[in-house]
Amino acid sequence: MITNPKVLEYLDIISPVNSKAIEEIRAEAKRNYIPIIKRDTENLLKFVLKMQNPGSILEIGCAVGYSAAVMLENSDADIVTVEKMPERVEEAKRNIKYADFESRASILEGDAGEILKSLADKGEKFDFIFMDAAKAQYITWLPVVKKLLKESGMIFSDNCLQEGDLAESSFAIRKRDKTIHKRMREYIYLLLHDETLESWIFSIGDGVLLSRSRR
């Protein structure tokens, strides 16, 4: 974790709370050890959404629907969200319905790579793309994600610094994490040096990379 745990506790106390339903979804996810966005990352996400005011959002990695509900509460957008695990899809549907956003959300179950390609083939475009799924796949999905991004659209890539591990030498990384470490470093480099994008990296939460289309 990059952010001091005491700082996160403080942010939990002082940050404006979400609706009662969304806070209940958050509490339930934490009780069940479901990974959800950290409060400082959530605050940045809300700020960016308020500034950009997107009309359409694509989320890659729905989990139990917490971040989707947060994005819907803090924008007027409709959302398409992708999740591979059937049990989480069902829970996400229940949670989004409970938060009263069912009419604005479409949950697509299946492999993210295949779904993203299908959306691109249909000519779908989104103002805002939130990436929070398999980190080793970010770089694999990047070409099609860029095709799905509207002019002046934004990509919000979460967990990019891997709890700070990305700053470590590859020799210090556990063998099972080396692929993620290598691919995420490549992903960050590509985005920061992509002439079609403007990108900024933030050392909050587990690392956030914000990218905006120059088109």
Output the known binding site: 37, 67, 83, 111-112, 132, 158-159
* 28 three-class SS: helix
Q: Are strands 149-158 and 78-83 parallel, antiparallel or unpaired?
A: unpaired
Residues 38-67 as b or e (16 or more Cβ within 10 Å = b): bbbbbbbbbebbeebebebbbbbbbbbbbb
Q: For residue 111, give the nearest of 136, 90, 86 by alpha carbon.
A: 86
Q: Which residues are annotated as a binding site for S-adenosyl-L-methionine?
A: 37, 67, 83, 111-112, 132
Let me know the angle formed at the C-alpha of 44 by 188 and 212, rounded to the nearest 5 degrees.
Answer: 45
Extract the annotated binding site for Mg(2+). Answer: 132, 158-159
Q: Where are the beta strands (DSSP E) in 28-148?
A: 56-60, 78-83, 105-109, 126-131
